[in-house]
């Protein structure tokens, strides 16, 4: 299995994030990739491919043009206004407020954000653009005939919507890969999100589309981030009615229940008749992940990969969550080798 990776992610590393009322070292940090790379090397998964830049037109197929322009220009606009620290949103357009883009950069920051834990720095655009390029390159490999490829994306992407960022995500890497498959001739594509947190951004992007089926297995939003999307009764709208599947699960969920949900999602994806699969691969379902509450153990990730591999679909894995514990590398590699074993 080819691995697409780069070093540009290191440019994005905010000074801190707000957690529990304190400014703490970000959970989403460069060590995440370092742990994964070490495990890939140890497992012999070293067939590396350099990313090719994602076309701007593809980004604007999955994200609103004004939002892409905002991300591209945000740091320059921030520093031009006299600010020097990380861009942390502090004001949001809530219920019954006018949904109009402010001129002021501080206002625009809040308009295009949905969570205050996610900062923009001077290197954020370059890192996010490279992550999307990594996903795009992996998709091109699979469209070109590879059975599967792994996109080692950082920052992650599945919380990034058509027009807002948050949850450590800026550009939606999985959506870029899914749309790339469609552009290359796939009639129908599925995005399977196995991250602990609901892929609210991906759901939003494809909510009214039948050509991309979205399935997510995640912590119940009544108790877990992102709180306001990911309930079981959310099934799509318009042309996309029935093309969204959510499996929210309670804190403490173990692999028996989780794997049953995965089996159901894979069956639904098969019935939808898809030509390619994008997996939003979060391994923060691990029992020792610092910001999650499921109880999957490392061997379970091998079974997960085998179940996905047995579905027999051309597959791109896009890295999402799983935080800075060493097992993030072991668990990621277990998924990939489980897929290869299938």
Instruction: State the Cα–Cα distance between residues 217 and 198, nearest whole angstrom.
Output: 7
HEC sequence for 169-182: ECCCHHHHHHHHHH
**Assigned token pair, 211:** 């050509």
Question: Residue 333 in 3-state DSSP?
Answer: helix
Please tell me which residue in 12, 129, 159, 339 is annotated as part of the active site.
Answer: 159
- Residue 159 designated active-site: yes
Residue 105, number of CB atoms within 10 A of its CB: 20
d(CA 211, CA 190): 8
Q: How far is CA 153 from CA 36, 127, 133, 221, 276, in A?
A: 11, 9, 9, 25, 19
Strands in 275-314 per DSSP E: 276-281
221 near 244, Cβ under 8 Å? no
- Residues with catalytic roles: 159
């Amino acid at each position: 299995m080819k691995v697409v990776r780069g070093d540009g992610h290191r440019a994005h590393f905010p000074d801190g994030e707000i957690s529990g009322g304190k400014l703490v070292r970000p959970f989403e940090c460069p060590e995440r990739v370092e742990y994964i790379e070490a495990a890939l090397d140890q497992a012999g998964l070293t067939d590396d491919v350099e990313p090719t830049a994602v076309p701007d037109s593809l980004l604007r197929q999955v994200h609103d043009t004004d939002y892409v322009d905002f991300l591209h220009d945000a740091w320059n606009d921030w520093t031009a206004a006299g600010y020097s620290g990380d861009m942390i949103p502090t004001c949001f357009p809530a219920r019954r407020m006018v949904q109009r883009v402010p001129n002021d950069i501080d206002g625009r920051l809040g308009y295009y954000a949905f969570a205050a834990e996610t900062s923009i720095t001077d290197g954020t655009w370059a890192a996010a653009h490279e992550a999307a390029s990594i996903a795009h390159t992996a998709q091109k490999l699979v469209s070109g005939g590879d059975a599967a490829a792994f996109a080692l994306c950082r920052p992650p992407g599945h919380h990034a919507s058509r027009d807002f960022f948050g949850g450590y995500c800026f550009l939606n890497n999985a959506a870029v890969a899914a749309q790339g498959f469609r552009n290359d001739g796939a009639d129908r594509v599925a995005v399977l999100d196995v991250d602990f947190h609901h892929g609210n951004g991906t759901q939003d992007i494809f909510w009214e589309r039948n050509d991309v089926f979205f399935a997510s297995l995640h912590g119940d939003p009544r108790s877990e981030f992102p709180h306001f999307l990911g309930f079981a009764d959310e099934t799509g709208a318009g042309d996309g009615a029935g093309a969204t599947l959510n499996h929210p699960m309670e804190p403490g969920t173990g692999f028996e229940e989780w794997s049953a949900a995965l089996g159901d999602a894979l069956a639904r994806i098969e019935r939808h008749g898809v030509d390619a699969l994008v997996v939003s691969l979060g391994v923060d379902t691990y029992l020792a992940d610092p910001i999650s509450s499921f109880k999957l153990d490392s061997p379970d990730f091998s079974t997960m990969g085998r179940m996905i591999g047995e579905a027999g679909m051309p597959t791109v894995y896009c890295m999402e969550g799983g935080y800075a514990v060493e097992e993030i590398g072991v668990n990621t590699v277990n998924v990939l080798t489980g897929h290869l074993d299938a």
